[in-house]
Structures are given as C-alpha cells and as structure tokens.
Structure 1
Amino acid sequence: MIKQVFINLPVADLQKSVAFFAALGFSKNPQMSSDTGACIVMSDAIFVMLSTHDGFRNFTPKSICDTKTAVEVLVSLCCENREEVDGLVAKAIASGGSTYDKPEDLGFMYSHSFVDLDGHGWGLFCVRET
C-alpha cells in the first residue's frame, strides 16, 4: 500500500518557489532540502519536491516542459471546505501566482485552481457530505 506521495517539480528560482508555497501556509522540511531542492510539506502524506532545473535533470533524461506553452501535469488537492479552496487560490494570486478559470460549484463538489510561479497547475476541490 502506498503511504505517501512525492510530487517532483522543476522550478526556475528555488527560493522564490519556496517562499510562494510558504505564503500558502505550507512548510519546508529542512532535512530533505538542499541548495538544488526543497521538500514542501502539504500534509502527512503529500510532499512537493521543488528542484532547480539542473537538479531536476538528475532524475530524467527528458527536457523540462516549457509551461508557458505546454502542460506537463495538473495536480489536484482535496481540501476540507470551500473556504480553504478560495483561501488557497487567493493566497496564490497574492503571492504572484495566477488563475485561468472561475470557481465552479457542481452541488456535490466545489473547485477552483491556481498556477504557481513556474506555470504548474494546481486544482483545488472539496466534496460536500451527502
């Protein structure tokens, strides 16, 4: 059984990206961080490994996606409630991120999204209890 998820993402400016995620309320694990990478703790089971482009190239022979013109991945996170979804999107925008859509309320689920400083897409949603 899988116990944890580590999402690995290349970033142009490691310090700016760490500050961006800190502004969203996430912490950095210093034991799993270095000059070329930082471990962002999202929960007990979800971690984002931010790596400089040079550091990221140690993990794959493929080229790094230009997120200005292409999508490499969309990461979706399940939040506690609508307020958490809206709050994280607002913090992301205030910290230099952006959004490309409007919130969507489907009755059973509420969602919105943001794009971080490096163009990675983050979908946020909450499911209503029935």
Structure 2
Amino acid sequence: MDRMIFVNLPVADLDVATRFYTDLGFRLDERFTDEHAASVVVSDTICVMLLVPAFFAQFTPSPVGDPRRSTQVVNCLSAASCEEVDALVRRAVAAGGAEYRPTQEEGGMYGRSFTDVDGHAWEVMAMEVTPTS
C-alpha cells in the first residue's frame, strides 16, 4: 500500500491561499473543499489541506502561531530536474510567494526554497539517486 501524506496548513485567507497553490499547477479536490478548507492535490500520494485558523485549531491543542515569525515545519517536494525546481520556484514567486533561502547545490542535489502567501516554507529538491547495492 502506498501511504499518503496530508500537509495541514492554517491560512489567513482561504481564497488567496487556494489561488496560490493552484497557480503552482496543483489541482483542487472539490470533494474536500468548502468555506473552511481547500484540498490541494500535489500528487497521487500528497495533498495539502488549507484550513482557516478556527478549523485548523480543532486539530491541535497547541496555539496556532504565525509562520512568518517562527518556522513550524519545512515541507520538501521532489523534482525530476533542476529545471523543474527552478520552474516551480518561479511560479511560486509569481503567485505571491517569496524565495526563502539561497539555492543549495551539493553532491548531486539541487534545491531551492520558497514561502507561500502565509509564510509556510517549502523546499523543492532534485536529486541524483544512486541505487544501493
């Protein structure tokens, strides 16, 4: 069985956040989208759940912080090539996000980072994976 991951993010403005992620080329799953949440399909096994703060608060006993003031989590997506990394970061910036860290290049890895419109950090990484023996 392939496991799925659901990244749950509190967002200040659901419409703005939804538009940001669909501008990146991800699709919306209308079955799990309403005035409290939007389900953004990144791949067959990854969904980003954008949640208004009051709804997000129902899932955690901890206070909901501002991702612009402290890093809560850094999500990383794989990419097939350096060009795909660059293209996704360009789309993120064009959609209202911002570059987050300098480009990382080391030992067969190429990565860049961006924040979404709410300040959530994302990395995009292309890696040369060598089979282990």
What TM bracket, shorter-length normalisation? over 0.9
Aligned position for 1:71: 71
Q: Note the C-alpha offset of 1:115.
A: 0.4
Is the 2:29–2:41 contact (alpha carbons within 8 Å) kept by the matching residues of 1? yes
8 Å contact kept, 1:104–1:112: yes
Deviation readout 1:68-106 (Å, 9 max, x if unpaired): 211100001111111111011001111110013222221
1:33 Cα deviation after fit: 1.1
Give the TM-score normalised by the residue count of structure 2. 0.92
Shifted more, 29-38 versus 59-68: the winner is 59-68
8 Å CA contact 1:65–1:71 kept in 2: the answer is no
How far apart, CA to CA, are the structure 1 residues paired with 2:48 and 2:3?
15
Aligned CA distance change for structure 1 residues 71 and 129 (closer, same or farther; 3 Å): closer
Cα offset, 1:61, TM superposition? 2.1
Match of 1:10 in 2: 10
Which amino acid in the other structure matches residue 104 of structure 2? E
- The 1-side partners of 2:30 and 2:100 are apart by 32
Q: 2:120 — aligned with what?
A: 120
Q: Do the aligned residues in 1 keep the contact of 2:68 with 2:120 (CA within 8 Å)?
A: no
2:93 is aligned with 1:93: yes
| Cα distance between partner residues in 2 of 1:61 and 1:54 | 12
1:22 alignment partner, SS class: helix
Q: How many aligned positions are there? A: 130
In structure 2, list runs of 5 or more residues that go unmatched.
none
**What TM-score comes out, normalization by structure 1 length?**
0.94
| 1:110 alignment counterpart | 110
Amino acid aligned to 2:120: H
Q: Distance in 1 between matches of 2:100 and 2:88?
A: 15
Q: Secondary structure at the match of 2:17?
A: helix
Q: Equivalents in 2 of 1:108, 1:48: separation in Å?
A: 28
SS at match of 2:124: strand
How far apart, in 2, do the equivalents of 1:125 and 1:15 lie? 27
The percentage of counterpart residues that share the same residue type is 38
The DSSP-based 3-state class of the residue aligned with 2:86 is helix
Greater mean deviation of Cα atoms: 102-111 or 25-34 = 102-111
Secondary structure of the corresponding residue to residue 91 of structure 2: helix
Asked whether the 8 Å contact 1:14–1:52 carries over to 2, the reply is yes
